[in-house]
Amino acid sequence: MIDEAIAACPNEERQYLCLRLGLLDSAVVVCPLVHRMVGQESDSVRIAAAWSLLQIGDLRAIDGLVQALSDPCQRVVQLACNALGELVASCVRVPLVSLLDHPAAQIRLSAAMALLQIEIKDERILLTLEGLKEDSDVMSHDVAAEWLQSEIKAGDIDGTRRSSQKKLADLIEEARKLVSQ
């Protein structure tokens, strides 16, 4: 019923509805959101569905989130990585590890962070994080502010870079400890 209601809406309203469903935090909306995320929807609807599944944090979304790791939209992939990390499901190790070689730095970072959350012991996580230290995409203001959740005010680009480098250094140290256990 929910799935049909979403499908009946125009695209802009589907995006909004998917976001609102994520605020419900109800298991009833998981399957309709997975359908929107892995279906033939616009990027904005798939992003909204992935964000909502991250907010809900229901294990029934795992298969759909794994499917979303191959989405053409990088933001969907990043949100799927984040959600899988939050779910702490070790069964998603293989698809997340495969993203450590992704051409997009932000996706490599998201995959590495998810694997750390799941506490996967793999030296490739450490190697990936160390390789990201000099990557201009990861050190850019937008990515640092959004993905590394910088606390530096938006206008301070040098401060944001320093903060993102510090956060990345902290992640590298966390990966070293996990690998050495």
The CATH number of the domain holding residue 26 is 1.25.10
Please tell me the predicted confidence (pLDDT) of residue 106: 87
State the residue range of the domain holding 14: 1-67
Sequence-ordered list of residues with C-beta below 8 angstroms from that of 64, at least 6 positions apart, any chain: 34, 37, 38, 53
For the record, the structure tokens of 28 come out as 């009833």
Please tell me the predicted confidence (pLDDT) of residue 151: 33
Q: Please indicate, yes or no, if residue 109 is contained in any of the structural domains.
A: no
The tally of domains found in the chain comes to 1
Sign of the four-CA dihedral 177, 126, 132, 113: negative
Q: Please indicate, yes or no, if residue 75 is contained in any of the structural domains.
A: no
Contact by Cβ (8 Å): 48, 73: no
Q: Please indicate, yes or no, if residue 136 is contained in any of the structural domains.
A: no
β strands within 21-175, DSSP E: none
Q: Please indicate, yes or no, if residue 134 is contained in any of the structural domains.
A: no
Model confidence over 139-173: pLDDT tens digits?
Answer: 443 444 444 443 333 344 344 444 555 676 777 77
In angstroms, how far is the first alpha carbon of the chain from the final one? 48
Q: Please indicate, yes or no, if residue 16 is contained in any of the structural domains.
A: yes
pTM: 0.76
